[in-house]
Amino acid sequence: MKRRIAFSLAFVLFVLPLTAFAQKTQRVAFIIHGGAGVISRGSLSPEQETAYRRKLEEALLAGYKVLQEGKTSLDAVEIAIRMLEDSPLFNAGKGAVFTADGKNELDASIMDGKTLKAGAVAGLRRIKNPILLARKVMENSPHVMMTGDGAEKFAQTQGFAFVPPSYFWTKPRWDALQQIIREEAAKAKGKKIGEFRSPASQNERYGTVGAVALDKNGDLAAGTSTGGMTYKKFGRVGDAPIIGAGTYADNRTCGISATGWGEFFIRIGVARDISALVEYKGVPIQQAVDEVIQKKLQNLGGDGGVIALDKNGNIGISFNSEGMYRAYIDENGKPVVKIYKD
């Protein structure tokens, strides 16, 4: 009896340290994107390509540092997306595209995989960083989504400072709008203009930024932010602020952030569909994202892509466009930045 007790005690003393070690070494993981579209080799100048790569790596490392410091996946997602929103290179925040009436309207969402709480905002015109307001909606309100003037009134109660609409004006986005206006006018007159949209204007028409993180506690989070679609009309809202379409996170399955032609992502609930494949069929994350993007989305006629992390930190990336700005931390803790199809 004494020998059995001694053995049990020794077993407990041996196993407990291993358990504690396993908890301490939970692999953190981080991945971001800067939008998908007509991004073929040669479409960017060497200077432009360098600028995109630097900014993606900067945002990636900032989010990863947060995770290494032991902060939450939500914190990592927030800081990386905020940095991309502050850059005029991407269609979010400062670099937002223009609507048909020459305005900028911004959308964002964020989701906590631990609690399944989520926050989203749409149609913002005076909020510098929509992702910050989306998180406040999640944490400080009983709602999931707020839009337009109502969302900005809520922002006032949360102490947000507004920026003037001119803050979002950038020449490349304005020029893209004018190009599409000319092409729309030519089409209305029955003139042939190639494939209707020039590669340059098509590349400017869509775009989103997003991030997915897994922290040391095993909690997933995902977020997405966008300026929408160039030349959009009538208060159009895409998939980025819609939970289950452009953003989703569940600790039991995976975290997803999407980018592309939002109407198609909404119709098939891209982000939730990927999570469902993992949850109900046990499909590996890369297979799941390919199933939805390369088959379901493709067959419907939509284009774009997703980034994903499963509950173990495995990465999934899939897109059916010519390119997608993306960056992730590999298994050795090193940053990997890509733009084109490999």
CA distance linking residue 250 with residue 135, whole number of Å: 16
Q: Are 83 and 92 in contact (CB under 8 A)?
A: no
Q: Is 338 helix (H, G, I), strand (E, B) or coil?
A: strand
Torsion of CA 224, 119, 239, 174, to 10 degrees: -60
285-290: long-range pairs with CB below 8 Å, 24+: 285/254, 285/309, 285/310, 285/314, 285/315, 285/316, 286/314, 286/315, 286/316, 286/317, 286/318, 288/254, 288/316, 289/256, 289/316, 289/317, 289/318, 290/318
207 neighbors 92 (Cβ within 8 angstroms): yes
Which phi and psi angles does 29 have, rounded to 5°?
A: -145, 150
Residue 90, both tokens? 């991407």
Alpha helices by DSSP H, 69-170:
73-85, 130-140, 148-157
**Active site annotation includes 208:** yes
Give me the catalytic one of 99, 208, 226, 247.
208
Residue 177 CA neighbour count, 13 Å, CB half: 24
Closest CA relative to residue 210, chosen from 241, 232, 238, 231 = 241
Q: Which residues are catalytic?
A: 208
